[in-house]
C-alpha cells in the first residue's frame, strides 16, 4: 500500500532529548536576570513660582536596589487644571533611535485614584502609597509639604526578560498647559559580567 500514513510515528529518543534540553535552557534563560539595574541621575526642576519647594535625592543601597526621596510644596491649592504627564523613554543598546515606551498626560486628580493596567506603573503606585503622604483625593493643598521617603526600587519591579536599555522616567506637573515642574530619573539595564547574550 503506497502513501500510507503512520498515525503514531515513534519519536527519535536522541532528538527528543535535544528538544527537551533546548526548552529547558530557554526557560532557564528567561528566569535568569541578564542585567543589573543602574540609576545615574534624579532631578527635580521647578519651572514656576507656583512650586515653593521641590527637591529630591536617591541612594544606592546595594546592587539593583535604590531608594528615592522627594519633597514638593505648592504655593496654592491645586485641583482644577492640575495635570501630570508620565513618560518613559528607552533607547536599546546599539539602537540609534529611542522610543516613547510610555507617554500619558492626565488629570492629576484622576491619576491619584487610578488603577493602572501597566504592571510596572501599578507596582510603582503601590510603593508610592506606602512611602508617601500623597492624598487620595484633590485638592493638593497649598503650603503643605508632600513627600515620599525611601521609595524602594529594585530589579524585581522589572520582568526578567527586560532588554538592555538606557531609560528616562519623567513626571511633568502642569497647570492647564503651563509647565510647573519636572521630575526626571535616568538609568539603564546593564549587562551582567560573564552573561552571554
Tens-digit pLDDT profile for residues 69-110? 999 999 999 999 999 999 999 998 777 788 988 899 999 998
Half-sphere exposure of 36 (CA within 13 A, CB side): 15
Asked if residues 171 and 182 have their Cβ atoms less than 8 Å apart, the reply is yes
Asked if pLDDT for residue 50 goes beyond 90, the answer is yes
CA 67/CA 61 separation, integer angstroms: 7
Helix (H, G, I), strand (E, B) or coil at 6: coil
Per-residue pLDDT tens for 133-165? 988 889 999 999 999 999 999 998 888 888 999
Residue identified by cell 492629576 is: 108
Please give the helix or strand (H or E) that residue 27 lies within, else none: helix 13-31
How far, CA to CA in Å, does 118 sit from each of 53, 110, 124, 176, 190?
30, 16, 10, 25, 23
The mean pLDDT of 178-191, rounded to a whole number, is 97
How far, CA to CA in Å, does 152 sit from each of 36, 77, 156, 190?
16, 29, 11, 19
Domains of the chain: 36-191 (2.70.220.10)
Amino acid at each position: 500500500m503506497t502513501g500510507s500514513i503512520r498515525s503514531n510515528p515513534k519519536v527519535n529518543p536522541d532528538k527528543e532529548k535535544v528538544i527537551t534540553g533546548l526548552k529547558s535552557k530557554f526557560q532557564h534563560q528567561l528566569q535568569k536576570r541578564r542585567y543589573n539595574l543602574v540609576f545615574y541621575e534624579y532631578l527635580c526642576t521647578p519651572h514656576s513660582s507656583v512650586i515653593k519647594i521641590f527637591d529630591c535625592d536617591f541612594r544606592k543601597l546595594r546592587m539593583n536596589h535604590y531608594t528615592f526621596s522627594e519633597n514638593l510644596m505648592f504655593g496654592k491649592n491645586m485641583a482644577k487644571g492640575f495635570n501630570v504627564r508620565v513618560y518613559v523613554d528607552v533607547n536599546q543598546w546599539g539602537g540609534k533611535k529611542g522610543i516613547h515606551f510610555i507617554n500619558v498626560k492626565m488629570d492629576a486628580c484622576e491619576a491619584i485614584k487610578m488603577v493602572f493596567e501597566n504592571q510596572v506603573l501599578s507596582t510603582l503606585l503601590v510603593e508610592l502609597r506606602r512611602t508617601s503622604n500623597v492624598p487620595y483625593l484633590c485638592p493638593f493643598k497649598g503650603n503643605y509639604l508632600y513627600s515620599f521617603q525611601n521609595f524602594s526600587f529594585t530589579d524585581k519591579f522589572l520582568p526578567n526578560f527586560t532588554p538592555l536599555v538606557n531609560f528616562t522616567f519623567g513626571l511633568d506637573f502642569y497647570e492647564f498647559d503651563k509647565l510647573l515642574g519636572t521630575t526626571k530619573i535616568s538609568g539603564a539595564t546593564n549587562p551582567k559580567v560573564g552573561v552571554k547574550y
